[in-house]
Structure 1
Amino acid sequence: SLGLAGADHPMLGAVVPLPQSDGLVFTSRLSLRSYPWLAEHTVDDVVVVPGGALVELAVRAGDEAGCSVLDELVIETPLVVPDDGGVCVQVALGGPAEDGSRSVEVFSLGEGEVWRRHARGVLSAA
């Protein structure tokens, strides 16, 4: 009823189509309570989402649009999961370029913070 569809992925809750670009936005909320395995990946006693998980999120977004090949993913800043509470995550898949490729970006929003981009990349069909 809210225009959301299931994302069919354990770390992504819903997907929303973007009418102006033929892109998609996947949403989720990550917390240690919901994903206790994240606590196994720490850097200086701070829980960060592993790079492999960011790759998985990007590829899942591409799967939805027929672009399952991750050509490039640049991780710009760690995605930190707080000890208490959680962090909202969005994976934004751009509309198709002339060659059929699509951009992908991973963002987070912590409580009392602003949106922060963690990774950006390019997906293609082959």
Structure 2
Amino acid sequence: MATGASSVSSSTGRSPSNPVQFHPTVKKLLNDGHSVFIEASPHPVLTTALQDTADTTDTHALITGTLRRNEGTLHRFHLSLAHLHTHGIPVDWTPAVPEAGDDAPHDLPTYPFQHRSYWLEDAATDGDPESLGLHTTQHPLLAAATTLAQGDALLLTGRISLRTHPWLADHAIDGTAVLPAAAALELALEAGRLLGDLPVDELTLDAPVAIPAAGGVDVQMTAGAPRGDGRRELTLHTRAYDDADDDSALHRAWTSHGTGLLGAAGSASDSAPGSLTSWPPAGATAVDAGEVYERLVA
């Protein structure tokens, strides 16, 4: 049966002089705009042929049966009606569903469904440092900071990888990406900024920070408690991680890369550089970074 009160039937007792003309008839119905075909039978045998015909004409058609072999129940019939209903075909449910009583169908509410979760919400929110009791920084390499409960030290943490910081791939020595020394200085400057714009008096890098091709490194920049002269000692550490890390990663050793000193409070103006109102500064000469790397490799 097709929409528009058209029907298609077949006979297994056809003769060569009186063919069924199933394929031409279905094509004619499709060309006339019929798009829904229902095979009313105890088991669909024509739905495949109907679908093949629709495919050859590049026509979208909804094709279904009513019952199936070993499923000749009213429930199966209702499932077929529901299939049509969910595809936008009007179905008169009056004979199937009582119109009165508690089982009567109801319209959907005119407002959005109001959802209440049965389970408790997860306290963590996608790695937000604030939800972990840390301070969120705006630094591209050090994402979080906190002060230690004992010792008045400042701890800054972050993660660096070629995936999150692809520009590091351009700073490679002998095929290995490394964190530029200027970036390490920037980490120290961030520690000083969070402690009230303390200047960086010293920074000595003992070992380069190598960035692995897969995974990355955890970074810790620590500014210790003020000494007697008001200065704070800096330390830079990293440890490698991979994307499949589990709890065992907590036991990986940290590598020390450098130490330094932050100046005392109130000394920032003594060593602060002049304001750079233009870039590059007047009189500066551009240097090809590739030449510098070649010299370092040599």
Task: Indicate the TM-score class for this superposition, using the shorter chain for normalisation.
Answer: over 0.9
The answer to which of 42-51 and 111-120 deviates more is 111-120
Of 260, 283, 287, which residue of structure 2 is paired with 1:121?
260
- What is aligned with 1:82? 212
- What is aligned with 1:33? 163
Displacement after TM superposition at 1:67 (Å): 4.8
Tell me how many residue pairs correspond in the alignment. Answer: 126
Q: Residue 8 of structure 1 aligns to a residue in which SS?
A: coil
Alignment of 1:94 with 2:233, yes or no, is: no
Displacement after TM superposition at 1:42 (Å): 0.8
Displacement after TM superposition at 1:66 (Å): 2.1
RMSD: 1.3
Deviations 1:46-80 (A, max 9, x none): 11000000000011011111253111111010101
The TM-score with structure 2 as length reference comes to 0.41
Unpaired runs of at least 5, structure 1: none
- What is aligned with 1:47? 177
Q: Residue 19 of structure 1 aligns to a residue in which SS?
A: coil
Please list every run of at least 4 consecutive aligned residues from structure 1 whose deviation after the TM superposition is greater than 4 angstroms: none
Higher helix share: 2
- Tell me the amino acid that sits aligned with residue 262 of structure 2: L
- What is aligned with 2:194? 64
The answer to which of 5-14 and 110-119 deviates more is 110-119
**What are the residue-to-residue correspondences of 1:4-15 with 2, within 5 Å?**
4-15=134-145
The question of whether the paired residues in 2 share the 8 Å contact of 1:4 and 1:15 is answered with: yes
Q: Residue 52 of structure 1 aligns to a residue in which SS?
A: helix
The question of whether the paired residues in 1 share the 8 Å contact of 2:156 and 2:221 is answered with: yes
Q: Residue 87 of structure 1 aligns to a residue in which SS?
A: strand
Deviations 1:66-98 (A, max 9, x none): 253111111010101011111100101101111
State the percentage of identical aligned residues: 41
- What is aligned with 1:109? 239
- Distance across 1 between alignment mates of 2:180 and 2:141: 13
- Tell me the amino acid that sits aligned with residue 253 of structure 2: V
Displacement after TM superposition at 1:2 (Å): 2.3
Higher strand share: 1
Displacement after TM superposition at 1:105 (Å): 0.8
The TM-score with structure 1 as length reference comes to 0.94
The question of whether the paired residues in 2 share the 8 Å contact of 1:67 and 1:123 is answered with: no
The question of whether the paired residues in 2 share the 8 Å contact of 1:60 and 1:68 is answered with: no
Q: Residue 33 of structure 1 aligns to a residue in which SS?
A: coil
How has the CA–CA distance of structure 1 residues 100 and 62 changed in structure 2, closer, same or farther, with 3 Å as cutoff?
Answer: same
- Distance across 2 between alignment mates of 1:19 and 1:67: 22
Displacement after TM superposition at 1:11 (Å): 1.1
The question of whether the paired residues in 1 share the 8 Å contact of 2:161 and 2:215 is answered with: yes
Alignment of 1:17 with 2:178, yes or no, is: no
